Every structure is written in C-alpha cells, then in structure tokens.
A and B are shown apart, each in its own frame.
Chain A
Amino acid sequence: MTLLYSKPGVPMVVDEITWSPGVKRRLEDMGFIKGTPVCVVRSDGFGAIVVEIKGSKLLLGRGMAQKIKVKQAA
C-alpha cells in the first residue's frame, strides 16, 4: 500500500521508497526511513495530502505520496 491511499488517522509505518536516489535521499532526510511511524492527516482524493511524521506536519504531492510504500503499524 502507498501513502497516497492510506486512510487518514490510521497509524502506519514507512516501508520503502520507490523513487530515484535523489528524491529518496530528500525523503530520508525529512524522516521517511523504513520503520518510522507516519500518519496521514488529510487526504481529499485530489490535491496534496498532509502527513504527520517525526512530530511535524508535511505536505506531500500526490506523485510523491504514490512512491512511498507503507505498512500497517504493528
């Protein structure tokens, strides 16, 4: 499952980033590392989504959110 289609409010963890090394590094620096808890706060079905990670909120474009694979938090 990708972050784009995760339900708002359901705690997830980052699994894998399937993007070019450059973007992957940027995401890693912002805290998107395998195993990190992440939660979608807002997802309207169009436009950017809002996620909470590492105690702050980030806007992610749909393309970006599509490339972040997540798993249900254990």
Chain B
Amino acid sequence: MKELVLAGNPNAGKTTLFNELTGSRQSVGNWPGVTVEKKQGKFTYQNENWVVTDLPGTYSLSPYSMEEKIAGAYIVDQKPEVVVNIIDASNLERNLYLTLQLLELQQPTVIAMNMMDIVDRWKIELDIKKLAKKLGVPIVPISASRGEGLEELRQAVSEVSKNPSMGTGNPVTFSADIEGTIAKLMVEYQLDETEPRSRWQAIRVIEEDLDVCESLGVEKLHLYDHERTEMTHLRYRYIHDLVDRVMKRPERFETMTEKVDKILMHPWFGLPIFGFFMYMVFTLTFTLGGWLAGPVEALFGWLSVSTGAGLTQLGVAEWMVSLITDGVIAGVGGVLVFLPNIAFLFLALSILEDSGYMARVAFLMDRFMRKIGLSGKAFIPLLMGFGCSVPAVMATRSLESDRDRKAAMMMIPFMSCGAKMPIYLLFASVFFPGKEAVVTFFLYFLGVLVAVLMGTIFKDTLFKGSGDPFIMEMPSYHVPTMKTVGRSVWEKVEDYIVRAGTVLLAASVVLWGLLNFNMQGMSEMVNSFGAQLGHWIAPIFAPMGFGNWESSLSLVTGVMAKEAIVSNMAIIFGMGEAAGEAALGGSTAGMLAGIQQAFPMAAAFAFLIFSLLYTPCLATLAVIKRETQSWKWMLFSAGYTFAVAWIYAVIGYGLAMRFSVFVAGAVLVFGTMGLIALRTRNKRRKEELKWEQS
C-alpha cells in the first residue's frame, strides 16, 4: 500500500479534497501521544492501493503548535510515497510559504492548485507551467468543490511515486551566511550529507524545534534568532519574486467577498445580522425538525404497540414484554424522536463553519470577548458548544495559551448543547404549547449570559493575566459543498444514533430494572429501587419545586448523557399511573399527562433552568480531563456548574411562584446582564490606561 500525505493551509480546501479523493473509505483516530485528530482514507488508482493521511491544516511548518510539529515530523519520519500540497490559487503568496517549507523536506511532492475558478473570475493570469518548472514539482489544477481535476491529480501522484525525482523539487537556496550556518551545523552534529533529512534537521535546529534539538543533543538555544528571521525573510522574498514572474494581476478591484463583508461586517448591522442568523437557525431547527419528528414518533408508537402485541401473542412473559416496550423502545425511542431537530442544528452549524462566516463572527465578537479577557477567536468553540460540548472542548486547541483554553472550557458547558434540546422541546410542548421556539431561545440566551458572567468572574480570579495573541485569517467566502457538509452532519448523527443504541439503551434497561424491582423482587414502581433512590436525593432539589423522585432520578442519570433525562421521563411517566390504559407502549400522551401532573408550572420552569446549567455529561467531563490533563479541573467543572445551576433554579422557582414564569425569566436575564455590566464597567477605564502605558 502506498501512502499519500495531504498538506495545506487552513481554508485551502483540504477537507473537501480529502473527501473527494477518498469517498466514504475513511477512518478517524488520534496522532500518537497527542490529541490532534488524524484522518485517513483510501482509494485505488489503476490497481494501486493508496492510503491518504490528512495532515492538520497549517500556515507553516515552523514548530510552535502541536499541529505544525506533527505535520513536519510525520513527513520526515514516515517518508510517504507522495506529499500532496493543496494551494489556494487565489491566495498564492501566503500558501506558497508552506510549499517552500515542504520542499525543504526533500520528499516527492505534487501540488494541487485549487480554486482556479476564482482566479479566472478575477481575471488573474497564472502561468502554472512556469511555476511548476521553477518549483521543480508537478502542479495539477483542480477544483475540489466541483470534483474536477481529481483524475489528473491521481495520475500525477501515481507517476511521481514511480519516479520520485520528478517531484523532489528545488528548495530555496538561502543566503551565503545561512547556508554557511546550515553546513556548520551539519558538521557539528555529524549529519550525513547524502541523507535528505539532514539538511532539514539543521534547518530545524535554527528554527528551534525542541524535539530535533533534543534528539541531536543541542544544548544552547536562542543562538540563531537572527538567522531564523533572515530565513523567513528570504523565503518570502523568493515567493514575491516568483509570484511576480508567474502571475499577472489586473488593477485592484472589489471582490465578491469584500462586497458581502460590507454587509455582514457592517459596524452597526453586523451584530444584528448575526443575531438574526442564529435566531433563524433555531427557528428552522424547530419547525423543520418538528415536522420530521412527527413521523418518527408515530413509527416508535407503532413499533411499541405491535411489538408488545406480538410478544404477548407468542406467550412471552409479561415482564419481558414490559422490558422491551416500556424500557428499551420507550427509552431509546424517546431520544431518537429528536434526531431530526439535532440533524438540522448540526447542518446549520456546519454551513456557518464551512462558508467562512465563523472568522467574521470572531471579528464581530472580539470587542465583547475582550471584556472577559478572551479574544474573538475563543468565541468559535463557544458557539460550537451549541452543537455538542465534546467537540467544542476539543476546538479550544486553536487557542494558544493555556489560560484561554481553560477559561473557554469552563464556559462551554453553559452553551446549551444539542442533547439538552429534547428536554426543552418536551417541557415546552407540555407547559408552554405554541411557544416552544421562544422558550428554547430564552434558555439558550440565558446559558450564553451565564457563560459570559462566569467569564467576567474568572478573568479576575482563576484566569488573570493577558489573553492570547489574536491572529486569524479571514478566508474568502465560499459555498460549502454538499459532500463536506453532509459528511460532517452524518458523523454527528451517526454518533447520536450510536449513543442511543449503546449508552442510552443500557441506561434504559438499568432504569427499567430499578423501576420494577425492589428487595422483595418485582414491585410496583412507587415502591421500587428507583423510587427509593429518587426519594433519597429529592431533598436537594426540593427548593426548586421539583423534589419528586421522578425528576431527581432523571437528573442523576442525565449526567451519564443529557439525552437520558428525556428517555427516563419517557420510561417513568410512560409506565406511570397517569398514563392509564395508554401506558402499553409508553405512549406519548401518557408521558405528557404524567409530566403535567408531576410538575407545577413554576417547578417545570426551574427544572428547565437547572437542566440547562448543571453538571456536564460524562463524555464532556472526560474530554475536559483529557485536554487539561488534570482531575482538578474536571472536578471543578462538574462542581461549580452544579452550584450555579442550583442558585439560578432556586431563584427562578421563587420568582415564578411569587409572580409568574415570565417575570422570573425576565429577572434572570436582566439580572445576569446587570451583573455583567457591573463587573465590566469599572474595568474599561483601567484597561485603556494600561494600553496607553504599554
């Protein structure tokens, strides 16, 4: 099997090309020793089997971050047959910087020149043949989004693998000074001149790659700061001259992206437009997802009734029938009903991400994020938290400082995730019929406000000091491709289904057992283990108005996975007395009636707030542990969110009892806003002074 390694800048179309090359034959893992995602896929070209490894998207191979180190080291150690460097032709100067560093590795390389359509549209003349000759590697024009040029790319890759000298390229010759230093280093550390990687190692010593330095036994650092700057300078100068020779640009004109940005990044309208987008995302998620939820629900209802009837007819024991219909089908089905909503939410988030809009959001939010000591870049993981906290926590890797990463990780759980949405939809449909979208939007909004408030508090307590250096490319907008968006949505949907089939299935069976047995054997639900357990913990929740054993038990299992809260409700209330005859098959009507009986309006309101804010699920806690390498932060995250949720829910319940749910909601929102304003007001003046002094 031959190996192709895919390297390129972020936003150059790498993921799209990877998907186009490998189709559905993909696998995702981690790079050894580090938590950076490693994607591999396969394809066959003329009886040759290829495995494609997707390197992390980077602007350079200079070793600052995990991603960049991995990219360089992998190519040198693995010696893949071919390196494919994807370049955004409309952003040639920046993209060629990585290309030059790749050529320094002296591995067979093919360049895939992407986005030639944009270059044509901009009336830019690009002489690809000349560029290929100068760089000494084959260049294949492609359009990753339209799947064009792939056959030619595969052919070039195959040819280079058979004849590596075709693609070894012409690395930049640096100035005499630097070449002298490189030669000196190669002698000093006894590097074999005939081995291509030796030169790279010498360059790496100048660039201060700590791993290479260690392996060679370099002791003194910071010896070559001047040379390093000079090297960067020379590479860029080389690129400048090269681009001048192969590219003819027309007069500067306004691009489509610039026109769109005039609206989307407008000083006044930019933020309201972003708010409108988010509101649309949620409304669409409910209305479109809601339409599809109906048939799914009907399907499970039918499945439950017919399975129950069928099994009874076959003479299966009554308890077994109950386990399957009331436990498994009700529990798993209760969660899968919300699959369409969740799929729409992920669809919307993935379109926002792939279109290039996220960078604009980072810009718009920067001034607010600064108040909580973070940069606009940190807003992106927070926004992803609306989908699922697990990838959101992993996305904090794009932040360089440890302080910013931890601050963001501690805030993410308040961003209401997709798994919590079923709770809102279920309760809203019972207590606030017709106002589901408003109620849900309120909860999301409250979650954001609480996250911000915590940010302002952390800024002066746990995470003092200045934030990340904020630098980020603003890519051109492009229409996301069906394949890329589809794949990313499918990955999430698949994960949701797998969870429903494993974690939630197991939880449902355990819960069914807890609800049907006690020390004496099978029992009525009110005397079961589950009820006893629930009664036991209920006092904690009593001040919030829902000190009943049913909700206590649900919230405890909710830490396992948030979806479990709804599946528990479906099992408990599906079997409950209120359901009456309809209980066979855990019917929805029975469940809704049961919930309505168990919760007064104010308690339901408090339950929603508590569910929104309390301890994140086990998967999130596990990933926080992994990313921070610390139990302390994981436990802190679990504990403080519980405390915050408790305080908010108690206040919310009190106000809703005394006045109304509407008043309670308004007080919580405006109260939180007031606290945020208080915490940031006096800071501004101080900060301005600080800037002036620095």
Contacts and interface: CB of A to CB of B under 8 A. Distances in A.
A21 B97 CA distance: 20
B236 A48 contact: no
Given A29-B232, A31-B94, A48-B363, A56 B473 contact: yes
A7 interface: no
B640 interface: no
Interface in B87-118: 91-94, 97
B60 interface: yes
B253 interface: no
A61 B376 contact: yes
Q: By CB atoms of chain B within 10 A, which of A19, A25, A61 has the most?
A: A61
A33 B237 CA distance: 10
Nearest to B362: A59
Contacts of A25: 62, 64, 228, 232
Nearest to A48: B366
A14 B366 CA distance: 24
Given A25-B62, A28-B229, A61-B375, A50 B363 contact: yes
Contacts of A48: 362-363, 366-367, 375-376, 470
B370 interface: yes
A37 B649 CA distance: 55
- Size band of the B side of the interface? 35 or more
A28 B232 contact: yes
Interface in A23-70: 23, 25-31, 33-34, 36, 42, 44, 46-48, 50, 54-64, 66
A47 B233 CA distance: 30
Interface in B330-369: 359, 362-364, 366-367
B474 A57 contact: yes
A63 B467 contact: yes
Contact of B471 (A26, A33, A56): A26
B466 interface: yes
Q: Is the interface of A mostly helix, strand, loop or mixed?
A: mixed
B470 A55 contact: no
Contacts of B64: 22, 25-26
Contacts of B60: 29
Contacts of A54: 93-94, 236
Contacts of B469: 19, 23, 26, 61, 63-64
Interface in B457-480: 466-474
Interface string B667-693: 000000000000000000000000100
Contacts of A34: 233
Contacts of B93: 31, 54-56
A55 B367 contact: no
A21 B63 CA distance: 13
B677 to A, nearest CB: 16
Contacts of B267: 44
A25 to B, nearest CB: 6
A33 B691 CA distance: 24
Contacts of B474: 50, 56-59
B62 A58 contact: no
Given A21-B225, A29-B97, A31-B94, A59 B470 contact: yes
B642 interface: no
Contacts of B691: 62, 66
Contacts of A33: 229, 232-233, 236
B57 to A, nearest CB: 14
Contacts of A66: 691, 694
B694 A29 contact: no
B59 interface: yes
B119 to A, nearest CB: 12
Nearest to A57: B474
Interface string B199-231: 000000000000000000000001001001100
Given A48-B363, A50-B363, A62-B370, A27 B471 contact: yes
B150 to A, nearest CB: 26
A46 B270 CA distance: 14
Given A29-B59, A31-B93, A62-B691, A46 B367 contact: yes
B185 interface: no
Interface string B56-76: 000110101000000000000
B265 interface: yes
B205 to A, nearest CB: 15
Nearest to B360: A59
B363 A59 contact: yes
Nearest to A64: B469
Contacts of A44: 267, 367
A30 B362 CA distance: 19
A56 B265 CA distance: 17
Contact of A58 (B228, B367, B467, B471): B471
B228 to A, nearest CB: 7
Nearest to B98: A29
B524 to A, nearest CB: 61
B464 to A, nearest CB: 15
A64 B93 CA distance: 22
A46 B368 CA distance: 10
B258 to A, nearest CB: 9
A61 B471 contact: yes
22 contacts: A22-B64, A26-B64, A28-B232, A28-B233, A31-B94, A31-B97, A31-B236, A34-B233, A50-B474, A54-B94, A55-B93, A56-B473, A58-B471, A59-B473, A61-B375, A61-B467, A61-B468, A61-B470, A63-B469, A63-B470, A64-B469, A64-B471
Given A25-B228, A47-B376, A64-B469, 8 more contacts: A25-B64, A46-B367, A48-B470, A59-B366, A59-B470, A59-B473, A60-B471, A64-B471
Interface of B: 59-60, 62, 64, 91-94, 97, 222, 225, 228-229, 232-233, 236, 265, 267, 359, 362-364, 366-367, 370, 375-376, 466-474, 691, 694
The 6 tightest CB contacts between A and B, nearest first, are A61-B470, A47-B367, A48-B366, A29-B60, A57-B474, A47-B366
